[in-house]
Structure 1
């Protein structure tokens, strides 16, 4: 990555602190309206993020994958900042814990359906999406 105009800096932060900080030539995230690829010199953008992964292409052709659970992205002047509710790098995800969270969320969904409790159902569905996202990123 030769000059500052051909790279972008990516920073992913959560209420618990910085999860990722690095430079890349391509960042791909999923917004609430679809997938967004950002390369150096992209037009400024602010977007809400879906529960999904952020993919950061590395110089060697591989990529860093980070499970991002909501939040938003702001990009300008070749700096992308993701502010997420929570985020974990692929290697930091405890799959056993994520599987447990998935099972608990599925049980909460079952109970909310029986009780016809739409608020509990929505919260449980979000918890399930987050658990599945973590499992998917960890297993790539």
Structure 2
């Protein structure tokens, strides 16, 4: 029998996923982490990127998160995301527009732009597009 861990992915708006998984992969600030059942307890910040919930050998569910917190207990993984979206629900056109707007803002040398905000928006748009690209490569 395959061991599993209960996973909850919650955003400010709603619960995105709740169920059992064989493994969870998440973009921690210091690099991607893989969480298996009975993992040692930990809490870490998450960077914008893809969370993958491996529910079986044949099925992995990808999600985009804009950042948040990961809490791990031996039988429970909780992801509290600022924003969480199923990879298949990402609006590619909107992500491309957001990327273009952020790049335009970063190129503005007038001093009227909040560069930290523009940079964060650029990173988020790029990570959404990467998540979509990975989904397509996996045939999703």
The TM tier, using the shorter chain, reads 0.7 to 0.9
Is 1:139 the equivalent of 2:133? yes
The number of equivalent residue pairs is: 134
Once the two structures are superposed, the pairs formed by residues 1-140 of structure 1 within 5 Å of their partners are 2=1, 6-111=3-108, 114-116=109-111, 120-140=114-134
Gaps of 5+ in 1: none
Gaps of 5+ in 2: 135-140
Matched position secondary structure for 2:114? helix
Distance apart, 1:108 and its partner CA = 1.3
| TM-score when normalising by structure 2 | 0.88
Computed over aligned residues only, the root mean square deviation of the Cα atoms, in angstroms, reads: 1.6
Matched position secondary structure for 2:7? strand
| TM-score when normalising by structure 1 | 0.88
Distance apart, 1:30 and its partner CA = 1.5
Distance apart, 1:59 and its partner CA = 1.1
